[in-house]
Amino acid sequence: MTIFWIATIGTSLMAFLLKYSGHSVPERWLTHPKIQKINALIPIALLSALVAVQSFSEKSQLMIDQRLVGICAAITALLLKAPFPVVVLSAAVSSAAVYNWF
Amino acid sequence: MSVSITVGAYGVAFGAAAVANGFTVLQSCLLSLLTFSGASQFAVIGVIGAGGSALSGIATASLLGVRNALYGVIMAPRLQVKGLKRVIAAQVTIDESTGVALGQEPRGVDAMRKGFWYTGIGVFVFWNLFTLAGALGAQAMGDIRAFGLDSAVPAAFLGLVWPRLTGNFERVLAVGCAIFAIAMTPVLPAGLPIIATAFIAIAVGLKR
């Protein structure tokens, strides 16, 4: 079994177990204010780390390439309050332009 | 309707990103059918695509899936479902369905149930159709960099995290975690720099 299959099945199993446990455990277990606070912070930490790693590295090596232009375009779009499809498209188009023409 | 279009766009982005990171079309579609939680799905393909182990990919995705458990806690007393219906309710317990249901709270519990089920099942259908479209599209591309897909993936993550940066505290945490992950990338095995930031979030959350 490849790493991709293990990741696909393992992630799916865990995702469902987490969802189902919420519907099944007593309410007081998960409504503690600290847990709520941490739960709001975890996605910020993980997603920010993912943005950085996916933009500036390749296989454990730091790298600056066309993705820098793409991510700057995405930040500009977000600052201009563009909707999600525009954000992703502006990153893709600008990055592809740099890759193909330089 | 606007929820559906946004979900469609995320679905295409996910399908394309999954294939760009080495997953097959079938695996991409299974992730959308079975995991069915956008941030977790993007996380697992992101970590694996960056060279991380299966375990670090699953762990990162699961940390992001904890919030669905908390949504379940909110929804269970309102839905009052058992057996197979509870299994289905659990599967469609996501940001959108819980968000719409909570928005209906002033109109009573029946409106909340309706909002939850319509949104949950509607998003499920759209999300999976558009994942397939995105995955097939990316598969047809060949060199993904020529189409900018290598930048579309981090841009999608950025689009996911941006609405959560509601104050200076959140922004500092985001920038700090990004810098930490970059600094640790040449040092730690792939995947670990990302998971480690979850512990920064836990430490900061406990202190505050």
> What letter does residue B208 receive in the DSSP assignment?
-
pLDDT given for residue B22 in this prediction: 93
Distance from CA of A29 to the nearest CA of B (A): 9
Contact B135, B18 (CB under 8 A): yes
Length of chain B: 208
pLDDT given for residue B77 in this prediction: 87
Q: Which of A17, A24, A50 would you mutate first to test chain B, the one with the most B CBs within 10 A?
A: A50
Q: How far is CA B121 from CA A14, B39, B73, B208, in A?
A: 20, 18, 19, 37
**A43 in the same domain as A9:** no
Name the range with the highest mean pLDDT among A24-28, A70-74, B100-104.
A70-74
**Residues A85, B132, B129, B70, Cα dihedral to 10°:** -80
**Could you give the number of structural domains in chain A?**
2
Residues of A in contact with B93 (CB under 8 A): 19, 22-23
pLDDT band at A27 (very low <50, low <70, confident <90, very high): low
Domain boundaries, chain B: 2-162, 165-208
**A51 in the same domain as A7:** no
**A32 in the same domain as A15:** no
> pLDDT: is A98 or A54 the higher one?
A98
pLDDT band at A47 (very low <50, low <70, confident <90, very high): confident
**A23 in the same domain as A45:** no
Pairing of strands A57-58, A61-62: antiparallel
Taking only the tens place, the pLDDT of each residue in A74-86 is 999 999 999 888 9
**A83 in the same domain as A68:** yes
Record: contact B69-A18, CB cut-off 8 A: yes
Scanning A28-57 for CB atoms below 8 A from B yields 29-31, 34-57
**A14 in the same domain as A46:** no
Count how many pairs of residues, chain A against chain B, have C-beta atoms within 8 Å.
Answer: 317
**A48 in the same domain as A15:** no
How many angstroms separate the CA atoms of A97 and B9, rounded? 21
Mean pLDDT of each 10-residue bin along chain B, 208 residues long? 70 91 96 94 92 93 89 88 95 90 88 93 93 93 84 86 92 97 91 89 89
Give the range of the structural domain holding residue A12, as residue numbers without chain letter.
Answer: 1-27
